[in-house]
Amino acid sequence: MKKKDLKEILAKTDFDSLVQWIFDYSQMNAGFEILLRARFDPEKIRVETAKDYPTIIRAAFHNNPLKSYGRYRRWDEYGFDAENVRADLEVVLEDADYFLKNNNTRVAVEICKSMVEIIPEEWEEALDHEGDVQVMYDEAIDKLEMMLSNKLLPENEKAKLFEWYEKESKIMGKHKYISLNTSFNVLQRYFLSSEDMIEKNLKSLNEKILNTSEEFYKVQYVIEKIEILEKVDRLDEMQQTINEYIEFPEVRRIRLKSLILKKEYALAVELIREGIAAAEKKGHIGTIIDWKEELLRVVQYQDDKTKILQLAEDLLYNGREQKKYYDILKAETPKENWDTTLARILSSMKSEKGFWGFNHFRAEILVEHKKWDELYVQCEKGGVDYLEQYEKYLRPEFDQKIYEIYLKFIEQQATITNPKAYANVSRFLKRLKTFSGGQEKVKELITKYREVYKRRKNMMKELEDII
């Protein structure tokens, strides 16, 4: 009888059943187990004999197409399904963890390198709305960074990884837009263990700075260069680089941090004022505010009361954190001057009609100082919603006026035929009930509306639970 082809038999055998049989047999045959361990020990597997990870990674994209129901009643395939690609790539990264756990950094590094190389080549932003694939790219970089930061790689492996990094980083556009929470360039800081690595890194950064027209990336490369120079203790070159690119706010902040640490506050103030002037020329309002916030911090170190008050008031009107600067003003202003300062603040703060025009912070200051007349004027100007919001503070002195405004608003809203107006009528009728004589007036209005607007079913439904 002709012997059947063993290779074919194995190919057609259920994979899980085959694995279970091999395991069971190895438990009964010590020699076979030794052979298995010698052949498949994860610590001893070489890159050349490991799985073909580049092909597996590309297959994750090609084997998970997006599908749409086409005009001819058939499924059309296009692009990749990001969620399914991520699921397949997670399995690949699990293999990297498996080899790391078994002290095989060589294969683990190759897996991560393949991920970082191939994902940008296959990725399309329009197909990855939730960033599923981008996350896998980030995780591959994170694993490489972890191996470098924990010094898991022997020097020869680290040198090979640097060669790959140097070559890959020269393809400048490839890694620009794909990462979410990390950057391919984060690996650069770990390749400083020899003069050759340092020089190659600095040369690469100089080329990137020179050849990049986008300011965002140019600044990023300059800061990376400064960090490397500081790390390798080439401080004169670091200062030269800072001086050369001081017009970038991020670089100016590095110099500022150094001056503050040295308590050279006068130089820090001068540096900030130059930054403000540069931002004013470019019309960068946000950067101007940032520098004024830094200036306030420095004059607080100097304990310059006059400048603290000036800057805090300026930032109160123009900055981002009104409460913070109001508290500074209140703490630093002499008690005898506070009433004058408060009047000036309230006069300078604008409050208009509508949701975006109403100044809630000004209203809170008025509540704090029990300035009910001014609060009433602001809320009346802002609209009925704000009278309702601050009603509890205003009722004692403006009860009748608020009642009349609510009543007028209810009557006006009752003429409008839409669900929002019906809800307003219901809400403010409930408010009206809490005023003197309000119960009777509400009953009168509901009786009237049930007759006049009886065909409006939605309005009638809103009126049902008022009384």
User: Could you write out the DSSP letters of every residue in 348-370?
Assistant: HS---SHHHH--HHHHHHHHHTT
Q: What is the pLDDT of residues 453-467, one digit of tens each?
A: 999 999 999 998 786
Q: Supply φ then ψ for residue 191, to 5 degrees.
A: -105, 65
* Cβ–Cβ under 8 Å, residues 141 and 186: yes
Q: Tokens in use for 69? A: 């129901």
pTM (predicted TM-score): 0.73
218-224, Cβ contacts within 8 angstroms, sequence gap of 24 or more = 218/248, 219/245, 219/248, 219/250, 219/251, 220/183, 220/185, 221/185, 222/248, 222/251, 223/250, 223/251, 223/254, 224/185, 224/188, 224/189
* pLDDT for res 69: 54
Q: Assess contact for 133 and 85: CB atoms under 8 A.
A: yes
List the structure tokens of 410: 């209810």
pLDDT, residue 68, reads 61
Least confident of 10-24, 205-219, 313-327, 367-381: 10-24
* Mean pLDDT value of segment 266-286: 96
SS3 content of the chain, % helix, strand, coil (to 5): 75, 0, 25
Average pLDDT over residues 314-320: 93
What does the block give as tokens for 382? Answer: 């802002």
In angstroms, the Cα distances linking 348 to 286, 345, 374 are: 21, 5, 14
Q: What is the DSSP string of 302-326?
A: HT-HHHHHHHHHHHHHHSS-HHHHH
Nearest-CA neighbor of 351 among 325, 378, 374, 332? 378
Read out DSSP for 128-184? -TT-HHHHHHHHHHHHHHHHHHTT-S-HHHHHHHHHHHHHHHTSTTTTSS--SS--G
> How far is it, in rounded angstroms, from Cα 179 to Cα 119?
10
Q: What is the 3-state secondary structure (H, E, C) of 11-50?
A: HHCCHHHHHHHHHHHHHHCHHHHHHHHHHHCCCCCCHHHC
Is the pLDDT at 31 greater than 50? The verdict is yes
Following CA atoms 56, 62, 63, 66 in sequence, which dihedral angle do they give, to the nearest 10 degrees? 140
pLDDT at 256: 97
pLDDT tens digits along 164-196: 999 998 887 899 889 999 989 899 989 998 999
pLDDT at 92 over 90: yes
CB atoms closer than 10 angstroms to residue 16? 8
> What is the C-alpha separation between 346 and 339, in angstroms, rounded?
11
pLDDT at 465: 78
Rounded to whole angstroms, the Cα distance separating 279 from 138 reads 34
Here the contacts of 364-372 (C-beta below 8 Å, separation 24 or greater) are 365/326, 367/393, 369/342, 371/346, 372/396, 372/397, 372/398
Q: What is the rounded average pLDDT for all residues in the chain?
A: 92
* pLDDT (0 to 100) of residue 75: 47
